[in-house]
Amino acid sequence: MKVLAIDTSTFVMGIAIVDGQVVKGEMITNLKKNHSIRVMPAIEALLQECEVSPQDLDRIVVAKGPGSYTGVRIGVTIAKTLAWTLRIPLVGISSLEVMAANAKYFDGVIVPLMDARRGQIYTGLYKAEGGNIQSVVADQVILATEWANELKSYNEPILLVGNDSVLHEAVFVEALGHSVQVASATFHNPRPSELAWLGMNREPEDVHTFVPNYIRLAEAEANWLARQQERAEG
């Protein structure tokens, strides 16, 4: 099975082509650049380099959020378009699960996180079992201080993963002490090859109804809905 994986959830742009048990090619950048003008050329270049045509692909796997609203939308839109055009299955995977997969041999619990502003983070809790990632606590948006206190109930090592970990490290260290550690820098970028592996055997989505998982509404959208409700009640 030839899989094309796409992740644009954060500043990290990741594209991978996996063929069965072989990672044919992988491209990762961590740059504050516009994904919308870079993703399709990157996909085309990687396909050409790996000598894989779009028609050779059997499945598209995309990181479906949470993350940057614009970034997640770009990746999901491209993935849906490719899957529909090529008439192949589409699979969506949690962007946090992709991060956690980098630590799939860690002996403890894995806390992938992304900054969500105002002291909040997108996060979840995962555990590795035999090299496979299992969700322990569903993805959520929560205050970092609140999440750190909740993690006190886990009597095992805790690993923070993700480029935004350093922004919140002090909060977790204060609450959890030596039981928490931050992954090394080489583990923070989500790997699109891991995304491909995660999605290889998952149940496909309906291409037409598949939507990103933002976890929460964008602030502008939330404000708009609040205004509409006020008008309706007024």
pTM: 0.92
pLDDT at 110 over 50: yes
pLDDT at 219 over 80: no
Strand order, beta sheet including 12-19: 22-30, 12-19, 2-7, 59-63, 90-93
Cβ–Cβ under 8 Å, residues 163 and 175: no
As a whole number, the mean pLDDT across the chain is 94
Spans of all domains in the chain = 2-95+190-215, 96-187
What are the tens digits of pLDDT across the range 164-188?
Answer: 999 999 999 999 999 999 999 999 9
Cα–Cα distance measured from residue 124 to residue 45, given in angstroms and rounded to the nearest whole number: 34
Residue 220: the pLDDT is: 46
Domain topology for 96-187 = Nucleotidyltransferase; domain 5 (3.30.420)
* The pair of three-digit structure tokens given for residue 166, joined into one six-digit string: 């350093």
Domain 2-95+190-215 has CATH 3.90.25.10: no
